[in-house]
Amino acid sequence: MFYLTEVEDHIRVDPKLFGLPTVEAIDKQLEETYIDHYDKELGKVVKVIEVLGIGEGVIIPGDGAAYYSTKFKLLIWKPDLQEIVYGVIAEITDFGAFIDIGVMRGMIHISQTMDDYVSFSKANSLLGKSSKRALKQGDLCLARVVAISHKGDDPKIGLTMRQPGLGKLEWIKEDQAKKEKAAKIAAKAIDKEAKSAKGGKKKK
């Protein structure tokens, strides 16, 4: 989920930026420092939105850089358990698929790609045995976050598409069309039964 958050930190401004106005120098340093930054508590930094306040600068002997107590606003994305995410299949493997969800990449185990027995095909796709549905690179999908691991520099995000309303967008549309068709057939049957019962009462 995307969030706007305010952060206060001591920003180290590299000497190469000393010729710029302080606000511009700190803005550039923030972009450089926080680009692709991930923190377990904070989330993944998407963009530095604006600098809100700058304190007095301090130069530490032997360092050469200037340090400023700075307050700034960040746009971040933090994965939440049970969150539904939209993305595109980036890679297919024999054990599942990797999906780009904009800011990060998640992984869908082969058993979680669809409600079917799934195998890896020679055409580099995941194929459902009964449904004949195929998942391949470039497919647009909806998935749910079911696991988050913070081991290593970046989190590992586990996803599933084995729930109603999830999966490849084409599958979702197909399932919805089937439900609507079944609902219409059921409504007609109920209406026919009601008319038949009404007609039977009149004969009496």
96-105 tens-digit pLDDT: 999 999 889 9
Tokens 């599933």 correspond to 160
84-171 topology per CATH:
OB fold (Dihydrolipoamide Acetyltransferase, E2P) (2.40.50)
**pLDDT higher than 80, residue 201:** no
Task: Please compute the mean of the pLDDT values over residues 64-93 and round it to a whole number.
Answer: 93
pTM of the model: 0.76
Domain spans of the chain? Answer: 2-77, 84-171
**pLDDT higher than 70, residue 136:** yes
Say what the pLDDT of residue 197 is.
Answer: 74
pLDDT tens for 140-151 read: 999 999 999 987
Q: Which CATH architecture has domain 2-77?
A: 2-Layer Sandwich (3.30)
Q: Do domains 2-77 and 84-171 have the same CATH topology?
A: no
d(CA 113, CA 83): 17
Q: How many residues does the chain have?
A: 204
d(CA 186, CA 112): 31
Q: For residues 160-190, b (16+ Cβ closer than 10 Å) or e, as one string?
A: bbbeeebbbeebbeeeeeeeeeeeeeeeeee
